[in-house]
Amino acid sequence: MLEKIKNKYCKPIRKKGEVMRMKLFGILSVILSVNLALFAVDFEKKGDFRVRTQWENDGNSSRFRERIRLRYSVTGEIDDLWKIGFGVATGGSDPRSTNETLDNSFETPDLRLDHAFAEAKVLNGLEIWFGKYKGIKKAICCLSGLLWDSDLRPEGLGIKWVKEYNNKNLFFNTGMWIIDEIKKGDDPYLVYFQPGFDFVKSDNVELQMYVGCYLFGNVKGKALDHSPGTNTLSSGNLKYDYDVFSPGMRIMFDNSSKFTLSLFVEGVVNIDIDKSNKGYLLGVGVSNDNGWKLEISHGRLERDAWLDIFSDSDEFNGQTGTQGQKINISKKVNKHTSVRADYIHLEDLITNDNLNVCKLDMLWSF
314 band by pLDDT with thresholds 50, 70 and 90: confident
* Residue 21 reports pLDDT greater than 90: no
What is the predicted pLDDT for the residue at 18?
58
pLDDT (tens digit per residue) in 173-194: 999 999 999 988 899 999 999 9
Does the structure show a pLDDT above 80 at 37? no
* Cβ atoms of 160 and 141 closer than 8 Å: no
Task: Using alpha carbons, list the distances in angstroms from residue 174 to 113, 161, 194, 197, 323.
Answer: 25, 9, 6, 15, 29
Q: How far apart are CA 364 and CA 332, in angstroms?
A: 10
Do residues 303 and 321 touch, judged by C-beta distance below 8 A?
yes
Query: Which phi and psi (to 5°) does residue 30 adopt?
Result: -65, -45
> What is the mean pLDDT of the segment spanning 280-292?
95
pLDDT digits (tens, 9 = 90+) for 295-313: 999 999 999 999 999 999 8
Q: Which of 3-7, 38-42, 188-192 has the highest mean pLDDT?
A: 188-192
Q: Residue 33 — very low, low, confident or very high, per pLDDT cuts 50/70/90?
A: low
**pLDDT mean across residues, the chain:** 90
Q: Could you give the CA distance from residue 120 to residue 159 in angstroms, rounded to a whole number?
A: 10
Please give the C-alpha separations between residue 150 and each of 166, 198, 244, 328, in angstroms, as whole numbers.
32, 21, 19, 15
Give me the percent of the chain exceeding a pLDDT of 90: 77
Average pLDDT over residues 228-246: 96
For the chain, how far is it from start to end, CA to CA, in angstroms? 77
Q: Which residues contact 277 (CB under 8 A, 6 or more apart)?
A: 269, 270, 271, 302, 304, 305
Quick one: three-class SS letters along 135-171? CHHHHCCCCCCCCCCCCCCCEEEEEEEEEEECCEEEE
Of 364, 261, 270, 265, the C-alpha closest to 321 is: 270
CA distance 92 to 98: 7
Whether 250 shows a pLDDT value over 90: the answer reads yes
197-213 pLDDT, tens per residue? 998 877 789 999 999 99
Distance of CA 330 to the CA centre of its chain: 22
Asked if residues 304 and 322 have their Cβ atoms less than 8 Å apart, the reply is: no
- Residue 340 · residue 330 · CB < 8 Å: yes
Query: Backbone phi, then psi, for 271, in 5-degree steps?
Result: -80, -5
- For the chain, count helices (H), then strands (E): 3, 19
Share of the chain above pLDDT 70, in %: 88
- pLDDT value, residue 43: 85
Strands 237-238 and 292-301, by their bridges, are: unpaired
Task: Give the confidence band of 20 by pLDDT, cuts at 50, 70, 90.
Answer: low
Residues with Cβ < 8 Å from 242, sequence gap 6 or more? 214, 216, 219, 270, 272, 304, 306, 307
pLDDT band at 32 (very low <50, low <70, confident <90, very high): low
